[in-house]
Chains A and B, each alone.
Chain A
Amino acid sequence: NAGVTQTPKFQVLKTGQSMTLQCAQDMNHNSMYWYRQDPGMGLRLIYYSASEGTTDKGEVPNGYNVSRLNKREFSLRLESAAPSQTSVYFCATRAPLEQYFGPGTRLTVT
């Protein structure tokens, strides 16, 4: 079992460019999450999906969109990247008693 996988691992974008961060899980969990992690600020929830076909905003959703493609996949899209979106992005899934995190995507917007 791979658990939670994320692609790419690293990405550099110019301001205004778009990209999609991919997340996939093989744990058969219903809930999936996207967080961003910034120095001194912990992890903040961007969007989450409680089940296939549903998505909801988290604490910091502005500038992002998500798609829950199927039970396995949950993608995060930046339509027009801004330097403030430079961060490490983590995808996670939720079992009844634990969240499992992917290895992260380090995104730099110049």
Chain B
Amino acid sequence: GENVEQHPSTLSVQEGDSAVIKCTYSDSASNYFPWYKQELGKGPQLIIDIRSNVGEKKDQRIAVTLNKTAKHFSLHITETQPEDSAVYFCADETGANNLFFGTGTRLTVIP
């Protein structure tokens, strides 16, 4: 089955610094790569996504990059703020339209 690996599992940054989370996937048929943010006690919420025909996508302070040749994609958060503290999950979608999730990264932004 599909395997999505996510690193690091925990990440601490100073407020205002950048944070980068990386994921790799195994299924070359994967064509959709969303990132979810999960706050304590809540369900995951989509924050940004990218499709396989695009290399980079930005939305204000967050961006996602995709390298299909290397089968990896990354989340970049710039000018981090305390409210960015949460668990972040990457995922990919194969031809069956089901999502496979990474194991999550707990991001802590230190004021």
Contacts and interface: CB of A to CB of B under 8 A. Distances in A.
* A complexed with B: yes
Interface of A: 4, 31, 33, 40-45, 48, 50, 58-59, 90, 92, 94, 97-99, 101-104
Contacts of B36: 101
B110 interface: no
B2 to A, nearest CB: 9
A101 B34 CA distance: 14
Interface of B: 1, 4, 6, 9, 34, 36, 41-46, 49, 89, 97-104
Contact of B98 (A48, A98, A102, A104): A48
Nearest to A40: B103
B98 A45 contact: yes
A102 B43 contact: yes
A2 B96 CA distance: 28
Contact of A98 (B43, B46, B100): B46
A42 B103 CA distance: 4
Given A48-B98, A98-B34, A99-B99, A42 B43 contact: no
A104 B41 CA distance: 8
